[in-house]
Amino acid sequence: MNVIVLPMIRPGVDPILAGRLSGKRAFVTALEQFPELTGPAIVLLDFAAVDLATSSYLSEVLVPLRDHLRMRRHPGYAVAANLNEKVREEIEEMLRRSGDAFLTCIADAAGNIADVQLCGQLDEKLMETLKLVSAKRETTAAQLHEETRNVDTVGATAWNNRLVSLASKSLVVEILQGRTKKYRPVLEVA
């Protein structure tokens, strides 16, 4: 999958990102500057030059950008990259309040990715599902249902709902093959 690096701040701009209105402007600017995708891609939202980003700013840009990119014809899977401790803390707090999760990583200028982590929270069943998808590398709801039939009493529909929820958070990639949807992790969590 291609990797696109999207700087969250331009050189020479104040390294403190604050306020809802600024976040909304950043969302629009990111969409205006975003290249047309020719296939699915990992989109690294690069916070390398950011000293601080408030949760009010982040709530207007981070999750809306993730959701918008995922719904495109060729989806982009947003990952927050190069977070300092203050920015990570603000993202954690924002995600904790909304019950959401986001992938984070360290990335260099060439888009090489390391230290992938899950920021925020997932409920127990979604976390279990993410671990199963990661272990299998690629799976379907029917396969998860069949393999856990003796342990878990939920049906294939429940597994499908869990996988769709993980895909909506850009934690797994949804691949349509005929009438079957397969899922694989966007990145392997460390």
Q: Which CATH architecture has domain 124-185?
A: Orthogonal Bundle (1.10)
Each domain of the chain, given as residue ranges in start order, spans 2-120, 124-185
- In 89-143, which ranges are E strands? 101-107, 113-120
Q: What is the pLDDT of residue 136?
A: 92
Residue 176 has pLDDT above 90, yes or no: no
Express each pLDDT in 80-130 by its tens digit.
999 999 999 999 999 999 989 999 999 997 878 999 999 998 999 999 999
Token pair of 32 as six digits: 């205006």
2-120 and 124-185: identical CATH topology: no
Q: What is the CATH number of domain 2-120?
A: 3.30.750
| Position 150 pLDDT exceeds 70 | no
**DSSP per-residue string spanning 145-158:** HHHHTTT----HHH
With residue 172 as reference, give the H or E element that holds it: strand 172-177
- Tell me the pTM: 0.90
The pLDDT of residue 131 is 93
